[in-house]
A and B are shown apart, each in its own frame.
Chain A
Amino acid sequence: MPNNKINQSKSSLIYQITLKGHLQDDWSDWFDGLSLRCDETGNTLLTGDVVDQAQLYGLLKRIRDAGIELISVNPIAEPDDEITTNIE
């Protein structure tokens, strides 16, 4: 398992996905555990580790199928390898 984690961290990215409308925390599980934060303009910021493009597309499809309007998708940074290694 720790090996897996290191492999993932090399290719995964932190993404921030902006959605229209406020979603409460209990939607987090629906979006693979990404964290949710509502901003003052009425949008929700979905932030977290996305392993690969397949997971990203899966997330976008879930957003589409729940009828939620997608505003933007941005990679923020690569997860810090050192941090992952420290956890191990």
Chain B
Amino acid sequence: MIIPILSTKLHKPKPASNVVTRSQLFDVLDRGIDGKCIVVSAPAGFGKTTVITSWLETVEHAVAWLSLEESDNELSRFLRYLIAALQSIEPHIGQQILPALQSEQDLPIENVMTILLNDLTNIEQKAILVLDDYHSIDTLEIDKALTFLVDHLPNNMTLVITTREDPQLPLAKYRVRAELTELRASDLRFTKAEMHTFLNQMMGLDLTENSITALENRTEGWIASLQMVAISLQRQADKTQFIETFTGSHRYILDYLLEEVLHQQSEETRTFLLQTSILRHLNADLCDAVTQTHDSQSVLELLERRNLFIVPLDDERTWYRYHYLFTDLLRQRLLRDSAGFSTEDVNELHTRASIWYEANGLELEAFQHAIAIHDIERAERLIESQGTPLYLRGIVKPIYHWLESLPNHMLDSHPSLWVAYASTLLLTGQHTAVEQKLSQAENALKNAKQDDSTQDVMGRIASMRSTLAVIDNDVETIVSQSRYALAHLNPNNLPVRIATQWTLGYAYQLQGDHQLARHAYEEILLLSDPIENSFYAIVATISLGQLQELDNQLHQASESYQNAIKLSGNPPHPIASQALLGLARICYQWNELESAQAHAQQCHELLQQMENTDTTASYKVLIAALHLAQGDFTSASDALYEAEAFVRQNNFMFRMPDIVEAQVRVLIHQQNLTTALQLTETYDLPVSQARIYLAQQNPSRALQILAPFIQKAQENGLQYELLKGLVLQALVYNALSQQDVALEVLAESLALAKSGGFIRIFIDEGMPMQALLSQALDQQIFPIYAQKLLKAFESNSASQPRIDPLSERELEVLRLVAEGLSNREISKRLFVALDTVKGHNRNIYQKLQVSRRTEAVARARELGLI
């Protein structure tokens, strides 16, 4: 059983038994633990990792360890490993944000880090996080994320970084604030006393004072070189002679010593060391495959016994690596002519390694060995892989950098690599550069043999163009390119077929063709393997739910959303926020306001983990509706104001109509009808416009606007739009005193709403609707449903603030106020004193809990008093 490489990255290396205890350095580190950050910064071979691991043996705090490598230069990958390391302290740390880290795109880094920091604050013990070999990282986003982490690190935590170059953190700031402890090359060099301890006591070399002084001058206390000296000296008959020759030489110190060390090994061991130097990690099986021998385990153990710079990566002695300094020197030597390996020999070693890694499911490593020897065919096959291409499985940057480095003519002879290039550009957010690569691919295809795979590449080009068209909201192009793609893609190319079905469904949805859109989404669910392509399965299920919602099928929609949430795992992928919002909307319609609130809250929490999406705007619109349902117009207005600001800031203007529709309700309440009317004209909202005319007591105008709207909705099968139109139209006929027609239209709307169980769409219309529904009940129109709605009205008004009943006279005054008469005019009309009118007004304001005439009128209309 091979231990996955991930777990070896989290393994704190055990210090070797012959380590010099460096108490002075330990004292510095002990003090450093009170600060935020300890940086151990020195060149290779200065014993950085060793000093940290042996110091950690002496402290009692919890430790999270992460060994970094160049392949960790992707933010999401880095954070996944970071969380895995921290989970060794407490298993729940960062659990919540792991789903958000599945893709490289659109990671709201500060939000994600804030959630992680909250978890860290809750650790009840002192903890130390070690990032070993941080120089492997040169990605700005990772430096930024780490800076944010350190800036906000709770007191119970200290970050330790070992690195060959100073990390891109604001070290000067930390120094000034005494939050930083540093160990640098000058601190880490062996002192003469330490050289004594190491060479004479530990290695038992029994060197004279003069020899040690000579070594000190030559090596300047560089530990890697002293270790090599010790290994070489162990088998030297004449130690003084060796030291004289060594210290008298001008040769690069490690080059000289490595030659000595290798010289002392058997031919087999020497060959093994050189051949396996191409490997980043070693295990017996892999080494057997690369060296084509059968006894690698015992060689590895021998190397460990002889201290030949080999580091076990786990307690079971399964994975090892060479000390990186040693790896580079051995590799340099392998490539020398004198080593006796031809270029073909070295290429063969890489090919064997690549084959082994591929067979063991480690495709990134397999890919890296293929590109090390420019084996394009192999690399291409590994990128495409059998199932989902590597770049769709989180390995984007290594592929992007490789493709970027290839000359055009090489890409031209492998057109599918142009498409992969375009994909990596899209995945790294460089949208504008994509089309050029696709055209290159198309040109390259002209010279290619026309076969199935050429057809598939053409399909992939079209599929990417449809994705670009989604970004541009260009519906016709989405449809034409998606259709072209589906006609050309290989039937087995599921990942791209699924992605294309999604763009197609999305386009149909934009065109308002729910039938075709549903069909496309259902196709995705048929094609998807719930594990392999879960993301698209979730997205398609959510889209299905949204379509069902628009078709008034609230029960089916609710089921879809619940399925999507199930598919999105636990903790859920942030995309589930859309499903939660859908559930919240449905609960709202069902008048289950508490559940709606709860789902909205969960949605809000997931939204924190995503880069801004338009879902945030829809969430705020729902929150506004919940406030409106409770008669809290101020909070509703605030929520809508936030929604509008958000939409403008993030350029989601297509969400404005939803916001304005809710704003109109608030504006009508505030009697600000002119503004409301302007808004509905700007955003072309006929139903809202009709609502305003109704409030202005101009029902005939409202009817003029509603009639064509309803007809259009009917023709295009837009069920929810139709329902909205009919509900309002019933009220309009009611206001026109055409009772029979009003009831007919109401019956139509009830027929549409009944199976979905809509409640709020009626209640939100207030008293006039309540009155109309009572009449419907009297006439036995959908009596059970009407009864249910009337019950909901009663409990709704029970939850609203109660109003003291107005007297006959007060109502009379209120009606005249509503007609726009001044107090003086009212006093004349009613033949009473001006002060009496004012007195009535005061009572009215008090009973209605308002402070102005306009508000009083609006409130009275809402309550159906006038």
Chain A residues close to B by CB (< 8 Å)? 19-24, 26-27, 29-30, 38, 42, 44, 62, 64-69
Contact = CB atoms under 8 A, between A and B. Distances in A.
A66 B338 contact: no
Interface stretch (B197-205, B282-290, B329-337, B752-760): B329-337
The 8 closest A-B pairs by CB, nearest first: A21-B252, A42-B250, A67-B44, A26-B336, A22-B250, A30-B332, A22-B251, A67-B325
Contacts of A30: 332, 335
Contacts of B255: 21, 23-24, 27
Interface string B240-262: 00000000011111110000000
A22 B251 CA distance: 4
Nearest to B252: A21
A30 B332 CA distance: 6
Given A65-B325, A67-B43, A29 B252 contact: no
Contacts of B281: none
B335 A29 contact: yes
Nearest to B44: A67
Interface string B305-330: 00000000000000000001100110
Contacts of B338: 26
B224 interface: yes
Given A19-B252, A65-B325, A67-B44, 17 more contacts: A21-B252, A22-B249, A22-B251, A23-B255, A24-B255, A26-B337, A27-B255, A62-B328, A64-B164, A64-B165, A66-B44, A66-B325, A66-B329, A66-B332, A67-B43, A67-B224, A67-B325
Given A26-B336, A26-B338, A65 B328 contact: yes
A45 to B, nearest CB: 13
Interface of B: 43-45, 164-165, 222, 224, 249-255, 324-325, 328-329, 332, 335-338
A57 B324 CA distance: 19
Nearest to A27: B332
A45 B744 CA distance: 97
A38 B337 CA distance: 20
A38 B249 CA distance: 12
Contact of A21 (B45, B251, B337): B251
A68 B254 CA distance: 9
A67 B45 contact: yes
Contact of A66 (B250, B251, B328): B328
B252 A68 contact: yes
Given A21-B250, A22-B250, A24-B255, A65 B44 contact: yes
29 contacts: A20-B252, A21-B252, A21-B253, A22-B249, A22-B250, A22-B252, A26-B336, A26-B337, A27-B255, A29-B335, A29-B336, A30-B332, A38-B250, A44-B252, A62-B328, A64-B44, A65-B44, A65-B325, A65-B328, A66-B325, A66-B329, A66-B332, A67-B43, A67-B44, A67-B222, A67-B224, A67-B254, A67-B325, A69-B43
A23 B328 contact: no
A62 B250 CA distance: 21
Contacts of B253: 21
A23 B332 CA distance: 12
Nearest to A23: B252
A66 B332 CA distance: 9
A65 B325 CA distance: 6
A21 B254 CA distance: 10
Contacts of B45: 67
A34 to B, nearest CB: 14
A42 B256 CA distance: 14
A23 to B, nearest CB: 5
B716 to A, nearest CB: 56
A27 B338 CA distance: 12
Nearest to A66: B328
Nearest to B333: A26
A21 to B, nearest CB: 3
Contacts of A42: 250
Contacts of A38: 250
B831 to A, nearest CB: 94
Nearest to A39: B250
Contacts of A24: 251, 255
Nearest to B220: A69
Nearest to B251: A22
B21 to A, nearest CB: 24
B164 A65 contact: yes
A65 B330 CA distance: 12
A20 B43 CA distance: 14
B707 to A, nearest CB: 68
Contacts of A65: 44, 164, 324-325, 328
Contacts of A67: 43-45, 222, 224, 254, 325, 328-329
Nearest to A19: B252
Nearest to B338: A26
Contacts of B325: 65-67
Nearest to A67: B44
B43 A64 contact: yes
Please indicate which of the listed interface residues A66, A67, A69 has the most CB atoms of chain B within 10 Å of its own CB.
A67
Contacts of A68: 252
B217 to A, nearest CB: 12
A24 B165 CA distance: 26
A54 B45 CA distance: 26
Contacts of A69: 43
A30 to B, nearest CB: 5
Nearest to A4: B407
Nearest to B326: A67
B329 to A, nearest CB: 6
A44 B252 CA distance: 9
A80 B251 CA distance: 33
A69 B253 CA distance: 10
Contacts of B251: 21-24
A24 B336 CA distance: 11
B214 to A, nearest CB: 15
A22 B324 CA distance: 21
B227 to A, nearest CB: 12
